[in-house]
Amino acid sequence: MIEFLIVGLGGFIGACLRFAITKLTGHFSLASPLSTLISNVAAGLVIGFILGLEQQSIAINTKTKLFLTTGLLGGLSTFSTFSLETVKLFQDDKFFFAACNIALNVALSLFGVLGGMVCAKAIFKKS
């Protein structure tokens, strides 16, 4: 039961962070896709960092990992919003922006995971 509460608390914080990013980017043109991109890349960076820590044999408590990965990062990143925004761009005949949205979310999120892994390795390199 405690694990559900841990994940729920993390999800609450992640969702609030996601909403804050949306509010902060609200004055930009195409703000919704930008806030989703920022959220997805940030989540990728953090989950990559966590993976990098584990690859450096740095143990992460199971409950802490649940809080961060399933909860916080699950609440922060969102594939459904990305998909909806992309469909809306296509429906509005903004094909270039839709294609860019797809390419940037996929590529930068992958690079975020790799970047997080590299950072963790650089900071906590095994001797």
Q: Per residue in 62-107, pLDDT tens?
A: 999 999 999 999 999 978 788 888 998 999 999 999 999 999 999 9
In three state form, how does the secondary structure of 14-39 look? Answer: HHHHHHHHHHHCCCCCCHHHHHHHHH
Nearest alpha-carbon partner for 95 in 107, 87, 84, 104: 87
Nearest alpha-carbon partner for 37 in 17, 22, 49: 22
> Which residue shows structure tokens 């949306």?
22
pLDDT at 82: 87
Q: Give the separation between CA 126 and CA 121, rounded to whole angstroms.
A: 8
Q: How many CA atoms are closer than 13 Å to the CA of 30, on its beta-carbon side? A: 16
pLDDT at 1: 92
Extended strands (E) in 1-127: none
pLDDT at 120: 93
pLDDT by residue (tens digit) across 3-57? 999 999 999 999 999 999 989 987 666 567 888 899 999 999 999 999 899 888 8
Q: Give the separation between CA 13 and CA 104, rounded to whole angstroms.
A: 25
In the chain, domain spans: 2-123
Q: How many residues does the chain have?
A: 127
Single-letter amino acid code for the residue at 84 = L
Q: pTM, whole model, 2 decimals? A: 0.81
Nearest alpha-carbon partner for 3 in 98, 69, 90, 77: 69
